[in-house]
């Protein structure tokens, strides 16, 4: 049996009857940039997360950058985040001219360790970006308490965490804004690039809408300089078709994770993902840890079970960020998780038979 890491075709076939007419409508109306499909999706995505605004943009990286830009983060400022994340989190900081400052992660949730956060705050700290990694919400109660005490805005990196919850609240409801990615492989994915920002701040939403369209509210009238971060109409239509299914897909992912947990428990030296008791994990990724990570991945590939590494080299050790002056050993939890983590196949359409095959292959490896 062949088990893909993600099966986008399985999802497309189930939606084809809805998707084709929605995309054809964009072709017929020629609303290729922003337009009604994007506006409708923005409204519904915001409502799904209990928020007032969603600003659709071109990518998840755009989403992170546009919030920091709108918050006037710039040269000489510092923004605190984690090293165990996709590079876009730090790139968004760098694009403003500010300096990324990393802190270590919690060894159980793999998200920002609040105990490390306060020590990293300086007079230059302009924002904090906790990452809801793999679909697991960060410890937002503790993070917000520290941030509020210091008067520092929090921007949630929710690029992997659509519909995730913490303390019964949707992510995005804690910080001043939350950035989402609609990359095709995400829990809610476009048929190309896409991103969005949710916020309850009217002024911030207005400013971000202007920045994404070259600093304008009215065509050819520019109140500020901005950028082209607009979400295109086809992606708005695609996301609009998919959004009503997101709740069911989320529950399917959680059910698949529960099956993995039950069947993999106690196998070899595997450390299974643990859901924080105050969180609703949405399992964008199902990541296990093992000292035999590379060998296990190679064996699974030979059995046609395809896996991923998220992420094998932490940002503080990347060539791109060597100028920050970090070195090996600075963030021991991050480095341990990066060297041991293996992402197993995870998508809503994953079948029980496929999970059984993955588990059987892992069991054979350890035997």
In three state form, how does the secondary structure of the chain look?
CCECCCCHHHHHHHHHHHHHHHHHHHHHHCCCECCHHHHHHHHHHHHHCCCCEEEEECCHHHHHHHHHHHCCCCCCCEEEEECCCCCHHHHHHHHHCCEEEEECECCCCCCECHHHHHHHCCCCEEEECCECHHHCCCCHHHHHHHHHHHCCCEEEECCCCCCCEECCEECCCCCCEEEEECCCCCCCCCCCCCEEEEECCHHHHHHHHHHHECCEEECCEECCCCCECECEHHHHHHHHHHHHHHHHHHHHHHHHHHHHHHHHCCCCCCECCCCCCCEECCCCCEEEECCCHHHHHHHHHHCCECCECCCCCCHHHCHHHHHHCCCCCCCHHHHHHHHHEEEECCCCCCCHHHHHHHHHHHHHHHC
Q: Is pTM, for the whole model, over 0.95?
A: yes
Write down the pLDDT at residue 244. 98
Residue 328: exposed, middle, or buried by beta-carbon count in 10 A (0-12, 13-18, 19+)?
exposed
Write down the pLDDT at residue 35. 86
Q: Identify the architecture of domain 246-366 in CATH.
A: Alpha-Beta Complex (3.90)
For residue 46, whether the previous peptide bond is cis, meaning omega lies within 30 degrees of 0, is no
Which fold, 8-103+110-244?
3.40.640
Write down the pLDDT at residue 34. 85
Write down the pLDDT at residue 340. 98
CA distance 302 to 315: 30
Write down the pLDDT at residue 33. 84
Asked if the domains at 8-103+110-244 and 246-366 fall in one CATH topology, the answer is no
Q: What is the pLDDT along the chain (367 residues), one digit of tens a residue?
A: 999 999 999 999 999 999 999 899 989 988 888 889 999 999 999 999 999 999 999 999 999 999 999 999 999 999 999 999 999 999 999 999 999 999 999 999 999 999 999 999 999 999 999 999 999 999 999 999 999 999 999 999 999 999 999 999 999 999 999 999 999 999 999 999 999 999 999 999 999 999 999 999 888 899 999 999 999 999 999 999 999 999 999 999 999 999 999 999 999 999 999 999 999 999 999 999 999 999 999 999 999 999 999 999 999 999 999 999 999 999 999 999 999 999 999 999 999 999 999 999 999 999 9
Write down the pLDDT at residue 30. 86
Write down the pLDDT at residue 335. 98
Task: Show me where the domains of the chain are located.
Answer: 8-103+110-244, 246-366
CA distance 69 to 92: 9
Write down the pLDDT at residue 218. 87
């Amino acid at each position: 049996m062949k088990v893909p890491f993600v099966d986008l075709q399985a999802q497309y076939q189930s939606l084809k009857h809805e998707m084709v007419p929605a995309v054809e409508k964009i072709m017929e109306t020629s609303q290729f940039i922003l337009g009604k499909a994007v506006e409708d999706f923005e409204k519904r995505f915001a409502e799904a997360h209990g928020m007032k605004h969603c600003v659709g943009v071109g990518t998840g990286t755009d989403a992170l950058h546009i919030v920091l830009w709108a918050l006037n983060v710039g040269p000489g400022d510092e923004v605190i985040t984690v090293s165990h994340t996709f590079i876009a989190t730090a790139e968004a900081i760098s694009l403003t001219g500010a300096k990324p400052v990393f802190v270590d992660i919690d060894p159980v949730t793999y998200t920002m360790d609040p105990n490390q956060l306060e020590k990293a705050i300086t007079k230059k700290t302009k924002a904090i970006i906790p990452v809801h990694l793999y679909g697991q919400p960060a410890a937002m109660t503790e993070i917000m308490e520290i941030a509020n005490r210091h008067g520092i805005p929090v921007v949630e990196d929710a690029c992997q965490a659509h519909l995730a919850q913490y303390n019964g609240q949707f992510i995005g409801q804690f910080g001043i804004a939350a950035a989402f990615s609609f990359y095709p492989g995400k829990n809610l994915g476009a048929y190309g690039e896409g991103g969005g920002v949710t916020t309850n701040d009217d002024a911030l939403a207005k400013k971000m809408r202007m920045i994404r369209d070259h600093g304008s509210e009215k065509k050819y009238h520019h109140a500020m300089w901005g950028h082209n971060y607009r979400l295109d109409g086809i992606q708005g239509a695609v996301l609009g078709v998919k959004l009503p299914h997101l709740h069911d897909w989320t529950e399917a992912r959680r059910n698949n994770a529960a099956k993995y947990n039950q069947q993999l428990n106690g196998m070899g030296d595997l450390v299974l993902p643990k859901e924080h008791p105050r969180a609703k994990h949405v399992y964008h990724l199902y990541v296990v840890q093992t000292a035999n990570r590379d060998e296990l991945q190679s064996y699974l590939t030979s059995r046609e079970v395809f896996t991923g590494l998220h992420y094998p080299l932490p940002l503080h050790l990347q060539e791109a960020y060597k100028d920050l002056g970090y070195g090996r050993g600075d963030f021991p939890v991050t480095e341990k998780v990066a060297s041991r983590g293996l992402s197993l196949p995870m998508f809503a359409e994953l079948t029980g038979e496929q999970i059984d095959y993955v588990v059987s292959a892992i069991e054979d490896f350890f035997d």
